[in-house]
Structure 1
Amino acid sequence: MEKLSGAYDTQAAGLPRGRTSLLTEETREKQRRRLVKAAISVFAEKGFAATTIADIVKTARVSKQAFYEIFENKEDCFLAADDLGRKALYEQVLTDIKAQGSNGDQWIRSSLRAYLQLCVSEQDFTKAWAIEFPKAGSRCLEQRNLFFSELGKRLKLIHSAIKIKQPELWVAVPDLFYDAAIGGAYEIIFRYICQNKFDELLNIEDDLVDFINFSIGYKQNI
């Protein structure tokens, strides 16, 4: 998969600038992708508030005029980055969640492991999204909260299928517990991200799986 972040070599040829960027949709899409990837890198390095449009276009090797033809402002660009990251997450993580009632906790473990691996392989994006995205404006905060809500609903949906196959292993829990399971697990991951402990993230998989299981009603020692 193409990296979600990246700077472009200042010695390399840039994309067409100015009004020539209007010639083809292909060129425009390349400009958009470069701006988003560059923005992620700069947000991760400098923080959203300190980042300027000049920083982004310099890192992307794209003109400032092209930026404003594609995005209204930095928040608009960050929302596009969120879309890019969400697509990668759904492709690599959420599609791996399957109702495998006969495979113990694998239905949770496979998706969680894939997410942790994505965090480790995409550290700039992970830092930018986790630390800077909630502070980037009301639309970004709303989008972040909506994403976690979607994860909670998805967890409940898959769990409902699991409980039908293994009713003896689970007790009923309020719907709020699904959001709490997602939010609690993410809070632990968030602390590792803030401390730049990416090399330790994969080591907490077992504890996070246990936490999610018990949060949604798993009966211990069955």
Structure 2
Amino acid sequence: MTPHHSTGRRERNREAMRARVYEAAISLFAEKGYVATSFDEIADRADVARATVFNYFKRKDEFLLAWGDERRRRLGAMLIQESSRESGVLDQLTRCMNRLGEVTTDERRVTSELLLAWVRTGAPVLEEPYTSFIFAQIITDGKARGEVRPDVDPIAVGHLLRDTYLGTLYRWVGEGPAPFSLAQSLTSSLGLIFDGILAHDVTLSP
């Protein structure tokens, strides 16, 4: 076996072991709660030594950061897939918000548990606003097609839509049944943003 193949196999084995430890931790967080889960329990669930867990995650909050990274990649890929340039701006954004709502609802237990712990790390404030950029690209394409007013700033709209998603998500997470339909709330918010709240004969002061 060549050194290259040997190195490649070792790397694959290392990635597989990291994924095994990560999945064990996430499943325990969903079942017992983030605070109540210990490293010993993670090691038992992954069927590895405690030291092996520390080889990949030296602190407990590193699991949260890994969860945030994995969630960002997955949701980002999903939004890109939903944002087809063959349809209009509102249709694309509605599909994106629906999918965000549906996927998150399917993972309500783990999202509710880990999102609150993840917020305490400060990660949502410091992370790159990836969803904002995807939303902004949809608006930019819409401007090019004449669907969006020329004076609209796509980046500002992207941040507004991301803030809408996160704000709604923070109100939705928690123990017990979901207080409202996440997907429906997100798409309803789109209507407010696009239609506005002022009567047609009301103008804003400069």
Class of the TM-score when normalised by the shorter of the 2 chains: 0.7 to 0.9
Contact 1:99 1:161 in 2 (8 A): yes
Measured in 1, the distance between the counterparts of 2:69 and 2:89 equals 32
2:171 corresponding residue in structure 1:
191
| TM-score, structure 1 as length reference | 0.69
Offset at 1:159? 0.4
CA RMSD of aligned residues (A): 3.1
Residue 150 of structure 1, aligned match among 97, 121, 130: 130
SS in 2 for 1:51: coil
Mapping 1:54-203, distance limit 5 Å = 54-100=40-86, 102-103=87-88, 105-135=90-120, 137=121, 141-142=122-123, 144-147=124-127, 149-167=129-147, 172=152, 175-194=155-174, 196-197=177-178, 200-203=181-184
- The code of the aligned residue for 1:190 comes to Y
Structure 2: runs of 5+ lacking an equivalent: 1-8, 201-206
Structure whose CA Rg is larger: 2
Whether the 8 Å contact between 2:21 and 2:46 is mirrored in structure 1 is yes
Question: Do 2:168 and 2:186's aligned partners in 1 also have CA atoms closer than 8 Å?
Answer: no
1:47: Cα distance to partner? 3.9
User: The residue matched to 2:34 in structure 1 has which SS?
Assistant: coil
* Deviation sequence 1:33-74 (CA, Å, 0-9, x none): 122122223333444333321232223333211111112211
Calculate the TM-score normalised by the size of structure 2. 0.73
Residues in 2 aligned to 1:48 and 1:187: alpha-carbon distance in whole angstroms: 22
Q: Give 2:6's aligned residue.
A: none
- Identity across aligned pairs (percent)? 19
| Structure 1 unaligned regions, length at least 5 | 1-22
1:116-174 deviation per Cα after TM superposition (whole angstroms, max 9, x unaligned): 12112223442244222111x3xxx23x2344623223322320220221256676358
Per the alignment, do residues 25 and 65 of structure 1 end up closer, same or farther by CA in structure 2, a change over 3 Å counting? same
1:37 aligns to what? 23
The letter of the residue matching 1:55 is E
Query: Structure 1 residues 174 and 199, CA, compared in 2 at 3 Å: closer, same or farther?
Result: closer
Q: Is the 8 A contact 1:35 1:57 kept in 2?
A: yes
Q: Which whole-Å CA distance do the structure 2 matches of 1:170 and 1:130 have between them?
A: 37
Q: In 1, distance between residues paired with 2:19 and 2:132?
A: 30
Taking a change above 3 Å as real, the CA distance of residues 72 and 121 of structure 1, as seen in their structure-2 partners, is same
Distance 1:46 1:170, change over 3 A: farther
The corresponding residue for 1:213 is 194
Per the alignment, residue 4 of structure 1 pairs with: none
